[in-house]
Amino acid sequence: MKKINVFLEQNIEKILYLFLFLQPIIDLLTSLSINLFKIDITFGVIARMLFLFFITYYYLFVMRNKKRYLKYFIMIIIYMILFSTMILLIKGQEAIVYEVKNLLRAFYFPLLLIMLYEIFQNKKKSISSIDFIKVMLIYLILIIIPTITKTSFNGYTQGKSGIIGWFQSINEISAIFVGLMPFLSIYLKSEKSKIKKIFTIIFTFIVLFNLGSKIVILSLLITILSYFILYLYNNEKTNFKRIISYTLIIIVSLICFISFILPKTNFYKNIKLHLEFLGVEKVTDVVTKPELIDRFIFSDRLTFLNKTRNNYQKSTITEQLLGIGYIENYATDNINTKFIEMDIFDILYRHGLVGFIIYFLPVIILLKEAYLSLFSMLDGRRKDECLSYFLGISLLLVTSLLAGHVLLSPAVSIYLTLFIINSIKLTTHNT
């Protein structure tokens, strides 16, 4: 056992690096296990849980330095035991497997964040910014190839269109792109080949606009605008003619894109289909009429939120403290397993006031540390990198609130974890 621990200590960085690049492959195998073999317990759940147990073992028994966040780790484990016990007593053995599976998926993020933070703090190297782009390129390839060969799975139901390649969840893939796309600018600055740059941009835009997701396009626009503002800031006293020419090029390109290309994308088709289905006559109605705000912008998530809130308010004091779990109205005719898909509210109601506090206490501490680190370096020579991490973290947090599938999805939360850790390390180490 001692030899194994020594090996892990010497190679933990390589193992973490390998696991990052295995993410697209894990998602691919997950999709195949569901679509081809009809397996309910997916490969992705097993692989990521095994990784969590491995990191836990390393954190508790291999890592030697003082564990600053061990008390939060213990608090989370105690809460998870209390939650599982409550579910067993209230809902019985029939519900425990489903509830515990979702419990592990939910607390994957804070557990991994605590442990990887301390592991990376003891190491000089971590995942580099350019590595995130390499992972994004793998996702792009695994979407472009099946799209060209017409072997792509359908990303949507109910008439909507969305290319998803050989992956399963368009919501998770969309959230992954939301987090990774800000790092594209670092790749474009470091890559010398213009041909590679052009093809990367083209393929990225083709995939993002044909995923059919509103949150992806909103994040893309925010990212482009943010980097344009940064460019203006960097060149406020020089290259005035170049700024004007670039601005004109961007405006003309946008006009051409909106006029000729946008109507052919799945994003545009889905927006049009959704508006027609809702009977919207004026586009402004979707931001002025409450019912349309819920149905168009939030895809009925506010309705799901209201139902879960009502069930939470009717629950016992114990359930309000520890959570109502993931099966609402269990053993009744009104049973409901639908997520709200607004992560913060799902965590609050499904894990109660105690679970909510325990979940977010270490997360908020490390988020604060990450943002302070980024702001302290915004005027330094690594402004682009700081902005990439700032956008990656912020856009994923906004996505978690508006569309979900971030904090409660290990496939996505691992990127948020690494963004936060790398942001903190920017002030002390070279990433």
Helix (H, G, I), strand (E, B) or coil at 234: helix
Sequence letter at residue 99: E
Tokens 């999805």 locate to 409
Contact of 180 with 207, CB cutoff 8 Å: no
Contact of 315 with 344, CB cutoff 8 Å: no
**What residues does each domain of the chain span?**
65-123+300-431, 129-299
User: Which residues in the chain land under pLDDT 70?
Assistant: 38, 40-41, 124-125, 155-159, 235-244, 246-247, 250, 254, 257-259, 281, 283-285, 287, 380, 428-431
The distance from CA 333 to its chain's CA centroid, rounded to whole angstroms, is 34
Contact of 362 with 68, CB cutoff 8 Å: no
Closest CA to 407 of 361, 319, 341, 351: 341
Cα separation, 263 vs 261, in Å, equals: 6
Helix (H, G, I), strand (E, B) or coil at 161: coil
Side-chain half-sphere CA neighbours of 158 within 13 A: 5
Q: Report pLDDT for 431.
A: 42
* pLDDT tens digits, 143-170: 999 888 888 877 666 667 778 888 888 8
Helix (H, G, I), strand (E, B) or coil at 153: coil
Q: Report pLDDT for 430.
A: 47
Cα separation, 256 vs 250, in Å, equals: 10
Side-chain half-sphere CA neighbours of 260 within 13 A: 6
Cβ burial of 258 (10 Å; 0-12, 13-18, 19+) is: exposed
DSSP string, 36-66: TT--SS-HHHHHHHHHHHHHHHIIIII--S-
Tokens 């796309």 locate to 181
Q: What's the sign of the alpha-carbon dihedral 157, 160, 164, 166? A: positive
Contacts of 43 (CB under 8 A, 6+ apart): 26, 29, 30, 32, 33
Q: Report pLDDT for 156.
A: 66
Q: Report pLDDT for 36.
A: 73
Helix (H, G, I), strand (E, B) or coil at 154: strand
